[in-house]
Chains A and B, each alone.
Chain A
Amino acid sequence: MTQPTAPVAPPDRAEIDAIIAAHSGLEGPLLPILHALQDAFGHVPQAALAPLAEALRVTRAELHGVISFYHDFREAPAGRHVLKICRAEACQAMGGAALAEDTLRRLGLDWHGTTGNGAVTVEPVYCLGLCACAPAVMVDGRVHGRVDAARMDALLAEAGA
């Protein structure tokens, strides 16, 4: 659930197998396994797909269908830090859209983009449940509310953007 912070370990087959084995006794194990793989490697590695399909007796196509359906799962690692900026209505009511636009412009990025030095990936999020202290952002699983331009500057500096 926490966002990956690179540098990520290279996918290791033994570790992949261990992660799959640790969760395969669950009812509906696929999402827990995908989360665990992403926590370990910062993304869902290609190398995990064949053993995962075999273990759960699903086709590679079905697996691809699931992974690509959910916004959370990545096929490649993100930057060292992931900044999620809330785009939802309550944050918009408090200037969230302008905050997001300014941040993206400053970093020269579009949504989902990563800074040239690999420090920060910026992603949209639709609600962090911080609607009474908007606008809100999350950096690597840590939440921040009442974020203004100065606070955003500090967060970006801390992340090395």
Chain B
Amino acid sequence: MIVWVPMDSASKAVGADEVAAALLAEAEARGVTLDLRRNGARGMVWLEPLVEVEIDGVRHGFGPMTVADVPALFEDLSAHPLALGPVDELDWMRRQTRLTFARCGVIEPLSLAQYRANGGLKGLRRALGMAPGEVVAEVTASGLRGRGGAGFPTGIKWQTVHDAPGTRKYIVCNADEGDSGTFADRMIMEGDPFSLIEGMAIAGLAVGATKGFVYLRSEYPDAISVMEQAVRTARAEGVLGLDVLGSGRAFDMEIRVGAGAYVCGEETSLLNSLEGRRGVVRAKPPLPALSGLFGCPTVVNNVISLATVPVILEKGAQHYADFGLGRSRGTVTLQIAGNVARGGLFETAFGISLGAVVDDLAGGTASGRPVKAVQVGGPLGAYMPREKFDTPLGYEEFDAAGGLVGHAGIVVFDDRADMLVMARFAMEFCAVESCGKCTPCRIGAVRGVETIDRIAQGDGSAIPLLSDLCETMKDGSLCALGGFTPFPVMSALTHFPDDFAQNREAAE
């Protein structure tokens, strides 16, 4: 009997380890031979722990599994109360275009053999047969843009590093996924770690770098553990090292652990942190592509950007570019979170509307109450009201609607959310996490909290002051922390003015 139980931390957080232990105990008690495999997560978090049982080579899902429902898995499976049918046939799976996440949830994450058997390393092999400039051109032609939030064309960044003089260059993976509502980086690192390793190796070959670092946040202990084991395996199997896949070319990498500073998700403070300094933001120029880690030309890319590179090389740039909308090519890895009936990861071509995500995919709120606001793009993203639900997911499209796609995290709030409280939280968060280098962010965020408190006490004259402060932060901050905190604040104020009204206390 082959049974799969995810080892993703979201699955573990809701009892996957307990379910796995119960399966082993039950099998032993019944004298059944159990082949228990731990896969990554499929992304249907509302069904977690999602147990899969292979029946005639087809994986059937059962979830959300509880310890009490384990014994019935050894009886008539078609009569199991949590039976979902074949996992690949579920609506959520069938409607996706899984390119980056093709293997996630399917294979055992640390099995290089299963990785190979499912298309892994084909992209790297192809890249090894190409000139570095050709690899860069392939990534440029795919239209891939930085999935960390900024949306900068990945190929252009690589070209800059490729062209930069210098014998020592670095690939740095930004795995400091601190934005609330985002977990795609964590899922791929826990569920398909070799895809990130392969992507970084391809990046190294393309730009002439032989060393890479993954800067992984300390809040992700499971991802750290999986990535460290995967790097060791990749090195032992000759995927990393002095002779990548027998090519005679070198690339190796290390996992580095962050230390709880949100601002280190900003690329220049991340580089300072890697160097062992305070994670303060650096002024640009110089661009990290020209003078990055230890002053050397450095590619800094997000996890999803790098993990998408292997499939682009494997299937060709055009295959990837054929998906998408306008200048947003390929797929977006939506992370549907917060107060939703169905939350999780959904990979699809750019262009789906926000409303389709919230009402259709997510199935509305978990609480069953009306949706009030949706924050897209993390704590620095705008709160979108229902009037903006026709906005298609695309970098330019969201920008035009006053929001940002960011890392494509989507957090849904029901009608009990107080948007003044959310605006205050945005300012408070900025104050806690500001690196302190620039004044608009360091002082502005503190003043922002105070100003919102005045509004909460009925002082309407503080509203123009808040708008003015947000303008200053937006225009005067060095990085996106101070510069984008005004997005959630001003969108809350603009779209939900009742929550900021002078008579709010009387109204409550």
Contact = CB atoms under 8 A, between A and B. Distances in A.
Interface stretch (B66-74, B93-101, B253-261, B466-474): B253-261
A127 B178 contact: yes
Nearest to A144: B13
Contacts of B278: 65-66, 69
Given A28-B276, A131-B338, A89 B422 contact: yes
A35 to B, nearest CB: 6
Interface residues of B, number: 66
Interface string A78-102: 0000001000111111100000000
Contacts of B433: 126
Contact of A129 (B183, B273, B276, B375): B183
B337 A1 contact: no
Interface of chain A, main secondary structure: loop
Interface string B233-263: 0000000000000000000001011111110
B204 interface: no
A130 B182 CA distance: 8
B367 to A, nearest CB: 8
A35 B273 CA distance: 13
A73 B102 CA distance: 38
A28 B275 contact: yes
B181 A133 contact: no
A143 to B, nearest CB: 4
Given A72-B218, A125-B219, A131-B409, A143 B13 contact: yes
B293 to A, nearest CB: 8
A118 interface: no
Interface stretch (B121-129, B411-419, B457-465): B411-419
B261 A2 contact: no
A38 B190 CA distance: 25
Interface stretch (B32-40, B149-157, B339-347, B440-448): B339-347
A97 to B, nearest CB: 8
A106 to B, nearest CB: 22
B277 interface: yes
Interface string B158-198: 00000000000000000001111111011000000000000
B474 to A, nearest CB: 20
Contacts of A125: 219, 260
Interface of B: 9-10, 12-14, 45-46, 48, 177-183, 185-186, 211, 218-224, 254, 256-262, 273-280, 294, 335-340, 343-345, 366, 375, 379, 409, 411-414, 417, 422, 425, 429, 432-433, 435
18 contacts: A31-B256, A35-B218, A35-B257, A72-B259, A90-B411, A93-B413, A93-B417, A126-B432, A127-B178, A127-B179, A128-B219, A129-B183, A129-B219, A131-B343, A132-B343, A133-B10, A143-B12, A145-B10
Interface of A: 1-2, 26-32, 34-35, 56, 65-66, 69-73, 84, 88-94, 125-134, 136, 138, 141-146
Closest 4 CB pairs of A and B: A30-B276, A132-B343, A88-B180, A131-B337
